[in-house]
Amino acid sequence: MSEGIDEGLRRELQRQGVWVTSMQELYNWGRKNSIWPLQFGLACCAIEMIATAASRYDIARFGGEIFRPSPRQADLMIVAGTVTKKMAPQIVRLYNQMPDPKYVISMGACAISGGPFKQGYNVLKGIDRYIPVDVYIPGCPPRPEALLHAFMELQRKIDSQKLSGADKAEFLKPEQPSEFPVPAFGEHDLQPPANPDVYHPPKLERV
Amino acid sequence: MTPNPYLFIVIFAGVALAFPLLPLGLAWLWRRFFQPPKPGVGKNAIYECGVESIGEAQIQFRSQYYLYAIIFLIFDVEAIFLVPFAVAFTSLPVGAFIAILVFLLLLIEGLIWAWGKGCLNWAK
């Protein structure tokens, strides 16, 4: 895992009771085991999120039980539920107010694409139109196990982020924005309907 | 030789000071060498559950609320006293009964006084 030290030597030292680690590993280890989510529910997925936090599924086992009521103290935003167009600017604003590094889990069909309300006039067709999403969880609503799985995926992602070098984590790059433009209420839709810097819809190709 | 008993207070104060300062210092060093600061207008804006804040945070409250709060508090406390009184009512001696009546009388007197002063009229 760590650069600069041979994995075999590391194991050998470990067997002798010497633990060798790197700054990056220590930092990521601390980060991934204390992800504080934003206390923020939108619809029925939030009920599953609450169930995940409660004793039966117990997200505390992964260090994520401290749901913060303020974005200033949160690392993770779980977009749990249907994002209406009325709510979308608030979500982007909350995301902007979170300090770096910050992560987003898009929970459920609605947060991914609008889900069963995709044809509706008032539902945003996926929160990834405005903010970057790290993990998507399909389901309507996803089970608490699915949220835990997403949480573990996010931990894996954090663990693999690099502190230095050309491929270092996005939030460490000075040119990478920490804020994204908040959409405004337009006549028929949010303006702009999507942020082209963030939103890359999959291209369908007929063959 | 026993150490000065105040030495422990000094140690305690030192630990109490180091405990918050050390993480803050580490965070500062971290920001200095690794994390590029990214302040912004939206990021530093006042937090109001994601809604844009309107107006100033420092506003003047009407002092009228204060009188209502005081009067409410008095009768709230009275209700707490009245519950054990009512529970133990049948086994109370005459002296205790008169004492609680005096207590009630004082509060009623206070209400009449506040009423007479016009505190219950909502001043525009």
**DSSP state string for B23-67:** HHHHHHHHHHHT------TTTTSPPSTTSPP-S-S--PPPTHHHH
- Please tell me the predicted confidence (pLDDT) of residue A136: 93
Q: What is the mean pLDDT of residues A57-83?
A: 91
Please indicate if any CB of chain B lies within 8 Å of the CB of A173.
Answer: yes
Kindly report the pTM of this predicted structure. 0.76
Within-domain flag for B10? yes
Q: Which residue has the tokens 């539920």?
A: A81
Within-domain flag for B20? yes
B68 and B31 together in one domain: no
The B residues from 47 to 66 touching A (CB cutoff 8 Å) are 47, 49-52
Residue-range definition of the domain harbouring residue B89: 63-117
Within-domain flag for B105? yes
Residue among B32, B34, B41 with most chain A CBs within 10 A, to mutate: B34
Q: How many CB atoms lie within 10 A of CB A101?
A: 16
ipTM of this complex: 0.71
A173 to chain B: which residues are within 8 Å by CB?
36
Within-domain flag for B44? no
B106 and B68 together in one domain: yes
- Show pLDDT as tens, one digit a residue, over chain B (124 residues): 788 889 999 999 999 999 999 999 998 998 888 888 888 888 888 888 888 888 887 888 777 778 788 888 888 888 888 898 889 888 889 999 999 999 999 988 988 988 888 877 776 5
Which of the listed ranges A7-11, A177-181, B17-21 does the model predict with the highest average pLDDT?
Answer: B17-21
User: How many angstroms separate the CA of residue A84 from the nearest CA in chain B?
Assistant: 14
Q: What is the mean pLDDT of residues A129-142?
A: 92
pLDDT class for A1, splitting at 50, 70, 90? very low
Within-domain flag for B70? yes
